[in-house]
Structure 1
Amino acid sequence: MSIQSKAAPVRFEQVSKKYGKDVVAVDAIDLHVDAGKLVTLLGPSGCGKTTTLRMIAGLEMATSGKITIGDLDVTTLPATDRDVSMVFQSYALFPHMSVLENVTYGLTFSGFAKDEARSRALHGLDLVGLKGFDSRLPSELSGGQQQRVAVARALVLEPQVLLFDEPLSNLDAKLRRQVREDIRAIQQDLGLTVVYVTHDQEEALAVSDEIVVMRNAAIAQMGTPRNLYDAPNDRFVADFIGEANLLSCEIIAVDGDTATIEIEGYQHALPSRGLGRGPATIAVRPSRLVVGADAGIFAKVAKSTYVGVRMEYTLTGAFGQVFAVHDDVEAPLEPGAEVCMGFAAKGPVLLPE
């Protein structure tokens, strides 16, 4: 037997969640998750991302607005009446049950016959790379294997929407990378609709079709990982999606969609993003600063750090302080060295705010 995808879209229309009179956890958000896509809710603690996820699951009820899954209005439906499954941060496995018993538990509870539940569970374990692990106890598995059991348990229910709440936070760095790749591969192979919550920017960039950046109970910006990374709307998104250096500049000319900026006499052309002449702010990724450029801005190396595959530099100058990375680990710059710092051709981006 095989696990079938019943992927459905999720839509929020002006959805709010309040606790008491004063605490607004989610503030009138509009959100659309296409069927078969993985959308990540990303943001700092307290921004509303987990509350949003729990409202999809039916573990929290919206104070106002409308939530639909597929064609069904689920705004007031309890969790038991929604066709969703959730993978928790803590895995929530039963320690006294075998791996197979953990995966079949939800199926048995949902009324599946014993033989069918077992068949589905074994297929689910095979799907997440745990074939032959069915008789083990959770305590006999690594953290990554336990997380895969939790994923299998959710998958076998064939939900319309699969939800992940910080699923990798208990794993070490190497295992995080492996398990996130597993989750993404399963999602794409089965065409699942997945809503994924994390505060880890790299994780969000790696797994998502689309990222929803949240701040202060609202949506700050949403878009593809590359769009958010290359064209953030404001300082918060620029600094939260990957690392960004924020520098003051002057827009000295605008020609159509191209602006020319100037910092300490150094000029650079880039998309104008609707801005006109005058003071502005640019965001520059550390990897898009050219250390040792032929033309650029005078800077001094304040800190030099070797991290194996690259050098990391803190540079200071009249512009302030920036963080830059460089691939040349054989001839590192020493603290106190004077350098010329420029921008890559596709380097800085003007912030519209």
Structure 2
Amino acid sequence: MAGVGSRAASVVFENVTKIYGRNVVAVNDVSLRIEPGRLVTLLGPSGCGKTTTLRMIAGLEMASKGRILIGDKDVTTLPATDRDVSMVFQSYALFPHMTVLENVSYGLKFSGYSRTETRDRAMAGLSLVGLDGYGGRLPSELSGGQQQRVAVARALVLEPEVLLFDEPLSNLDAKLRRHVREEIREIQQKLGLTVVYVTHDQEEALAVSDEIVVMKNAAIAQIGPPRALYDAPADTFVADFIGEANLIGCEVLSVAGEMAEVAVAGVRHRLPARGLKPGRATLALRPSRIRLVEGEGLAATVEKVTYVGPRMEYTLAGDFGRIFAVSDNVDTPYRAGDAVTVGLAASGPVLVPDAR
């Protein structure tokens, strides 16, 4: 198992298109490069093409146009059996009649290892995912999180060049999802694996990824590290999809160098222009970065108050429209009907182009 990271390979898509039937375009002219040893997440709404992209890496779907390379090898036309990749499925796909050890050993039996070496590698895989002593159990005797770890161990023991995850946490409850995603990230970093990970959960993507590929309508909307996508979304679609955003109208009054002066409901504010010119524009405000302040800002009224334990959630209304805000102050919350002022912090709002 120690050699896994050294086998990590890059994944390259060169103008890849996937068409089903005569004219159903599932992936449209996608080009991207995933560096060895990185965890890259394909993120987007249902039907955007992320799972089809993953399945083309695996060889479970064939590209209609373009090239796919794993390492320096062109795998575009190779079947799944001839690609050095392993996939962890949403359903785990464990054999119910086999023990945990037999499930993890299954793929190794076809790899030319002796019985002793197969067993040793499977035991090492279980140890890696924290399941020492569970080898004799059946999948039905495990929790959902433990079954997921068995599926990960089964993929890892094959020492693939690329490890693929298809919505791996969607069957787990919220608390367990957080725990298992941390384990997956820790294993990936420890072994230096190249991982391509598909999810529709924005928080999950932000938590585990080196880079995120946001997909929309079968194409790439934006690629970048989690913080870059959160702080500088390419357009209103990415702003709204990554971590949620309030999108409100504004007017770019003037641009000087890289800075713009904007007006929002009569309040002026300076912030990076991000290539926009004077005229109507859209401002993205993250709920967690909205500050209710004394003094200058956007006048608003609290319409709705919700207590969710560690924080308060507010719906605020004003001349700018309605926005959603959160606050850690649960001891002295605002009440519905309260007049408040929304402060425009220097690092809070960001100008975003409209999505195409």
Q: TM-score range by the shorter chain?
A: over 0.9
Residue 268 of structure 1: how far off its partner (Å)? 1.5
Partner of 2:236: 235
User: Partner of 2:4 in structure 1?
Assistant: 4
Contact 1:297–1:341 (Cα < 8 Å) also in 2? yes
Question: Is 1:148 equivalent to 2:149 in the alignment?
Answer: yes
Pairing 1:260-339 to 2, within 5 Å after superposition: 260-339=261-340
Instruction: Give the 5 Å matches for 1:29-178.
Output: 29-178=30-179
- Once the two structures are TM-superposed, the CA of residue 327 in structure 1 deviates from its matched residue by 1.8
* TM-fit CA distance, 1:344: 2.0
Q: Distance in 2 between matches of 1:4 and 1:84?
A: 12
Q: Figure out how many residues of one structure are paired with residues of the other and give that number.
A: 353
Normalised by the size of structure 1, how large is the TM-score?
Answer: 0.98
Q: Which residue of 2 aligns with 1:13?
A: 14
Q: Partner of 2:222 in structure 1?
A: 221
- 1:213 and 1:220 in contact (8 A); partners too: yes
Per-residue deviation at 1:328?
1.4
Q: What is aligned with 2:205?
A: 204
2:19 maps to amino acid: K
Contact 1:2/1:120 (8 A) holds in 2 = no
Instruction: Verify the 8 A CA contact 2:8 2:194 in the aligned structure 1.
Output: yes
Distance 1:351 1:315 in 2: 21
TM-score for both structures, normalised by structure 2:
0.97
The answer to whether the Cα contact below 8 Å between 1:125 and 1:152 also exists between their aligned partners in 2 is yes
Equivalent residue number for residue 250 of structure 1: 251
- CA shift for structure 1 position 3: 4.9
Alpha-carbon shift at residue 4 of structure 1 (Å): 2.6
Aligned to 1:312, the other structure's residue is in SS state: strand
Residue pair 1:124, 1:153 contacting (<8 A) in 2 also: yes
Q: Indicate if the aligned counterparts of 2:230 and 2:239 stay in contact, CA closer than 8 A.
A: yes
Runs of at least 5 residues in structure 2 that lack an aligned partner in the other structure: none
- Displacement, 1:2? 3.6
Question: What is the letter of the counterpart of residue 72 of structure 2?
Answer: D
Partner deviation per Cα, 1:13-32 (whole Å, 9 max, x = no partner)? 00000011120000010011
C-alpha contact (below 8 Å) 1:11/1:32 kept by paired residues? yes
Q: Could you tell me how far apart the structure 1 residues matched to 2:4 and 2:196 are?
A: 18
**Distance (Å, rounded) in 2 between the aligned partners of 1:286 and 1:31:** 31
Tell me how far 1:52 sits from its aligned partner: 0.3
Greater shift in the superposed pair: 278-287 or 36-45: 278-287
Letter in 2 for 1:170: N
Q: What is the CA–CA distance in structure 1 between the aligned matches of 2:326 and 2:262, rounded to whole Å? A: 23
Asked if the contact 2:4/2:160 (under 8 Å) is kept, the reply is: no
Mapped contact 2:236–2:353 kept (Cα < 8 A): no
Offset at residue 252 of structure 1 (A): 1.7
2:200 alignment partner AA = H
Structure 1 stretches (4+) deviating beyond 2 angstroms? 1-5
Give, in whole Å, the separation in 2 of the partners of 1:160 and 1:270.
Answer: 44
* Identity level (%): 70
2:163/2:196 contact within 8 Å kept? yes
Counterparts of 2:108 and 2:265 in 1: how far apart (Å)? 66
User: Residue 279 of structure 1 aligns to a residue in which SS?
Assistant: strand
2:338 maps to amino acid = A
Report which stretch shifted further, 91-100 or 343-352.
343-352
Displacement of 1:133: 0.6
How far is 1:10 from its partner?
Answer: 0.2
Letter in 2 for 1:139: S
What does the per-residue CA deviation read over 1:196-247, in whole Å, with 9 as the maximum and x for residues that have no partner? 0000000000000000000110001110000100011111110000110001
C-alpha RMSD over aligned residues: 1.0
How much has 1:291 moved relative to structure 2? 1.4
**Deviation (angstroms), 1:117:** 0.7
User: What amino acid maps onto 2:266 in structure 1?
Assistant: G
- How far 1:253 sits from its partner (Å)? 2.4
Are 2:17 and 2:66, in contact at CA under 8 Å, matched by a contact in 1?
A: yes
3-state SS of 1:302 partner: strand
Contact 1:3–1:120, Cα closer than 8 Å, also in 2: no
